[in-house]
Amino acid sequence: MKIFYDKTHCLHNPAFEVFDGGQRVPYLESPERMDRILKAIRKMDDAEILAPRDFGLDPIRAVHSEQYLTFLASAWTEWLAATPETAAASDKTALMPATFAAKRDQMPETILGKAGFFLLDLSVPIVEGTYSAALASANCALSAAETISSSIAPPSSFALCRPPGHHAGREIAGGYCFLNNAAIAAQWLTRFGQVTILDVDYHAGNGTQDIFYSRSDVLTISIHADPAFEYPYYAGYAQETGAGEGLGFHRNFPLPAGTDDTAYLTTINQAIALISDYAPSSLVISLGMDTYGGDPLGRFKLTREGIGEIGHRISALGLPTAIIMEGGYNTDELGENVAAFLEHFR
């Protein structure tokens, strides 16, 4: 299996995030996550770890708006220029707004106003290396997509993406995500035919839903904790099934807290049936490991054996598959859980 990784992800390393209730905590989406995954997958006999190639901005522009990309590219330097005293006070200072857009009719001129316009929550602080890390992450996803498009046998590849992507919408960041890596990969693959994105992260893929909601050439499926009680709260409900040409081509499977292997695998079977009926040319998986029991940001109870079985059932579809890393914050178990999933795509 070809695995794409870029150490540039380390440049995105905020000192903290702000949890519900205003609690400041160490940033959970840390570079250590990638270290743990790399350690585990290097034990796989046929793992080939490669640097991604640079695809330029055009594949990213096909998913994200120009004004959003301009903001990500310039936010740090613009913030430094606006607040030199604050920024100079600490090398760990991050751009993080206190006011967020309740409506998005007008973009403000100030950098803090722009930040509140483009950032959904307090889990996406911007530091000096955020944009570079996000671009490298997107290139990992695109390299994985390119790999599965150019093989005769149904291949699979893994993009070790950080920052993750599935909460990033067309022009908004949130939930640790700045560029939607899975959506960028899927959009690139549409040149070869229909694509399915299957999101198995604990949290609803609201950004992916936003990007493809009115399209029929990409079937999007998300299995996640019910947003009635879990982030992102305002998207991911079962009645959200697409709009216009995309009506019927988006499916959410919200599940209750405490969901175990048996219940989750029943839902996976439903998703697999939808994918089979759609008959895509390729499959993109948004792979989250925060479904694992004991994850600090999850309330499911999946085991490592259950995660392996999920991989086994999806792989049985026999589709060219690009696996894109999303969440998972139990760093002690993260690497072995990812390896358990990947073993079935070798």
List the domain boundaries for the chain.
Answer: 2-13+27-53+129-345
pLDDT at 22: 84
CATH for the 2-13+27-53+129-345 domain, from 1.10.10.10, 3.40.800.20, 3.40.630.30, 3.40.605.10: 3.40.800.20
Give every CB contact of residue 177 below 8 A, 6+ residues apart in sequence. 124, 163, 164, 165, 166, 167, 168, 207
Q: Residue-wise over 53-92: b if at least 16 C-beta within 10 A, else e?
A: eebeeebbeebbeeebbebbeebbebbbeeeeeebeeeee
- What distance in Å separates the CA atoms of residue 48 and residue 205, rounded to the nearest whole number? 28
DSSP string of 280-346? -SEEEEEE--TTBTT-TT----B-HHHHHHHHHHHHTT---EEEEE-----HHHHHHHHHHHHGGG-
User: How many Å from the N-terminal Cα to the C-terminal Cα in the chain?
Assistant: 6
pLDDT of residue 92: 47
Helix (H) or strand (E) segment spanning residue 86: helix 84-88
Q: How far is CA 311 from CA 113, 203, 272, in A?
A: 43, 18, 12
pLDDT number for residue 46:
86
In 3-state terms, what secondary structure has residue 72? helix
Packing angle of the helix pair 304-315, 261-278 (nearest 10 deg): 10
| Contact criterion met (CB below 8 Å) for 310 and 287 | no
Helix (H, G, I), strand (E, B) or coil at 269: helix
CA dist., res. 205 & res. 232, Å (int): 9
Closest CA to 123 of 12, 234, 258: 12
Residues with active-site annotation: 167
pLDDT for 90 equals 47
* Assigned token pair, 164: 């993750």
- pLDDT of amino acid 91: 47
C-alpha to C-alpha distance for 203 and 232, rounded to whole angstroms: 7
- β-bridge mates for residue 324, sequence order: 159, 286
For residue 125, is the peptide bond before it cis, meaning its omega torsion is within 30 degrees of 0? Answer: no
Binning the chain into helix, strand and coil, the percentages to the nearest 5 are 40, 15, 45
pLDDT of residue 88: 53
Residue 248's region, left for phi above 0, alpha for psi from -120 to 50, else beta, is: left
One digit per residue, the tens of pLDDT, for the chain of length 346 reads 999 999 999 999 999 999 888 889 999 999 999 999 999 999 998 899 999 999 999 999 999 999 999 999 999 999 988 866 555 554 448 999 989 998 899 999 999 999 999 999 999 999 999 999 999 999 999 999 999 998 766 799 999 999 999 999 999 999 999 999 999 999 999 999 999 999 999 999 999 999 999 999 999 999 999 999 999 999 999 999 999 999 999 999 999 999 999 999 999 999 999 999 999 999 999 999 999 999 999 999 999 999 999 999 999 999 999 999 999 999 999 999 999 999 998 7
> Helices 331-342 and 32-41: crossing angle, nearest 10°?
40
CA–CA distance, 180 with 338 (Å, rounded to integer): 20
Count of positions (residues) in the chain:
346
